[in-house]
Amino acid sequence: MSEPVVVITGASSGIGAALAEILAGQGKQVALVARRKDALDAVAAKCGSRSFAIAADISVRANVRKVVEETIARAGRIDVWINNAGVGISRQPSELTDEDLDQMMQLNVKSVLYGMQEVLPHFKERNDGHIINVSSMLGRVPFATIRSAYSAAKHFMNALTAMFRDEIKQTHPNIQVSLVSPGVVRTDFGLKALHGGPDSRQFPRSQSAEEVAAVIAGVVASRATDVYTLPGARQMVLDYYGSTGQDAS
């Protein structure tokens, strides 16, 4: 079989760009997806002949369908689909507007659902495939109030991922759906958040995009179900929900 074909959304910078370089270096064929064609072309140039760019706004379902069709037309198939694109927001929960919530749902939840749903028929036809959804520690623990709507969207996405996995494994056990939860990553995420925001690089215990991308590349290989990129993160989640402040009585 020829080299695996991997689609990465949000591939023009940050985690997505770093991941594309790693996977291309491993011999995988990589389809790079994002809105900014010039930035995508720059990443593709670094990845070499094993990559190609598809400029698309994946918050529109029809565009996601076209990405699936174009990738299959150019590469012959899709083996792994990585939903990496997402946008943050800086606004306290008491200040959130309808538009804030609608944007967070469209950009962080619906775009992921579109990816899962549109690639699924291809995976079912092949009886194989792997979906990886990139979430956040904020999708596990709501510890940053200015990220309230983003955190809520990631919680939603996590539940959707788990339910999608449970549904598909009943009939197509060779199709895997994985979730990866990074912590703070040293990218432009904070600066590009809706309403602006603090630079993610200034926070402690941050990871580089390359560190996170290496973990995701490992999930491509292992097909692990639920992975944290920051050492000790899983215990942090357990400690949060097991603390005395979370009264179950």
Q: Which residues are catalytic?
A: 150
Element (H, E) at 154: helix 148-171
Which SS3 state, helix, strand or coil, does residue 240 take? helix
Q: Are 88 and 192 in contact (CB under 8 A)?
A: yes
What's the Cα-to-Cα distance from 131 to each of 91, 114, 186, 227, rounded to whole Å? 31, 12, 25, 13
As a whole number of angstroms, the distance between CA 236 and CA 223 comes to 23
| Structure tokens, 172 | 């197509």
Cα separation, 177 vs 195, whole angstroms? 32
